[in-house]
């Protein structure tokens, strides 16, 4: 994870919604937009956006990832921050898009300029908006939630998403953060890893869920939809469902009492 300077609070932002949110968890994208609008920002969502290219890149297909990135670099033309409700996708855009165009000076410059404006949602909330999280009127009436936090491997290493997630949860009244013994380990999803190595992937996610359940937590919060879907569907398959929320949905529910499903 690199150290970075943060810009002043903007009036307008882009949202990069990610393909998983678009296809499988649209309510998380709606909740992210809601949070940004509640902070007084105007949110723009370029309709032509698609995948960040991470599946192709992590599978050893940089040319395919390059073309996915190339198709989107001009979609975020205004100098506004690009907020991404996924630590791993934000990491792909911030760290790997410039590397994909290392031999193409014009496109490399575009990728570098965009990378400086890419922020994971929780990071943006904490360090760009620079305002206290909205507090409920009376914390005495708030039921305590015991929550585990899951951070994807890439998000933890490249974007510091675990640090941001811990800070957000610790700032909120009525939240007791429960750490588990496999917190630093992969959930087993890893994009195409789970398809190529299903037995290993399945064992990893079962270990992760067992460690989470051992804390006695009420639920899990994560900033990455791939991990969220992997954990959630495995728990349902085991017939031991546990509430697993995207960070944007959790914050909207906890702070405003509504969700994007409503």
In the structure, what pLDDT confidence band is assigned to residue 28 with cuts at 50, 70 and 90?
Answer: very high
- Rounded to two decimals, the pTM is 0.92
Residue in 107, 85, 111 with CA at minimum distance from that of residue 18: 85
CA dihedral (119, 121, 127, 129) positive or negative: positive
Per-residue model confidence (pLDDT) at position 133: 64
Q: How far apart are CA 99 and CA 4, in angstroms?
A: 18
Residue in 198, 187, 197 with CA at minimum distance from that of residue 223: 187
Per-residue model confidence (pLDDT) at position 118: 97
| Residues 6 or more apart whose Cβ sits within 8 Å of residue 73 | 97, 107, 110, 111, 114
Burial class (CB in 10 A: 0-12, 13-18, 19+), 234: buried
Sheet with 243-246: list strands edge to edge: 175-177, 145-150, 219-222, 243-246
Residues 206-219: what's their mean pLDDT?
96
Contact 247, 122 (CB under 8 A): yes
Residues 60-89: what's their mean pLDDT?
96
In the structure, what pLDDT confidence band is assigned to residue 2 with cuts at 50, 70 and 90?
Answer: low
SS3 155: helix
Q: How far apart are CA 190 and CA 88, in angstroms?
A: 10
Q: Quote helix, strand, coil % in the chain, to nearest 5.
A: 50, 10, 35
Per-residue model confidence (pLDDT) at position 246: 97
Q: Tell me: pLDDT of 4 over 70.
A: yes
């Amino acid at each position: 994870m690199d150290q970075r300077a943060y810009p002043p609070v903007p009036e307008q932002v882009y949202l990069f919604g990610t393909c998983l949110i678009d296809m499988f968890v649209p309510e998380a994208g709606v909740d992210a937009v809601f949070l940004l609008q509640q902070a007084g920002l105007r949110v723009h969502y370029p309709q032509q956006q698609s995948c960040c290219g991470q599946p192709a890149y992590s599978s050893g297909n940089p040319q395919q990832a390059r073309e996915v990135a190339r198709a989107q670099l001009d979609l975020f033309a205004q100098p506004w921050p690009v907020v991404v409700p996924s630590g791993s996708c934000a990491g792909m855009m911030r760290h790997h898009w410039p590397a994909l165009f290392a031999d193409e000076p014009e496109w490399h410059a575009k990728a570098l300029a965009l990378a400086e404006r890419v922020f994971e949602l929780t990071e943006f909330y904490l360090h760009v908006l620079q305002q206290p999280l909205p507090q409920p009127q009376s914390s005495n009436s708030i039921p305590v939630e015991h929550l585990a936090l899951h951070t994807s491997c890439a998000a933890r290493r490249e974007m510091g998403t675990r640090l941001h997630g811990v800070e957000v949860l610790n700032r909120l009244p009525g939240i007791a953060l429960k750490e588990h013994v496999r917190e630093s380990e992969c959930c087993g999803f890893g994009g195409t890893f789970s398809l190529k190595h299903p037995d290993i992937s399945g064992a990893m996610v079962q270990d992760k869920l067992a460690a989470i359940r051992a804390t006695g937590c009420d639920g899990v919060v994560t900033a990455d939809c791939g991990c969220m879907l992997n954990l959630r569907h495995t728990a349902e398959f085991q017939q031991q469902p546990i509430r697993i929320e995207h960070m944007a949905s959790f914050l909207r529910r906890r702070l405003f009492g509504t969700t994007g499903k409503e």
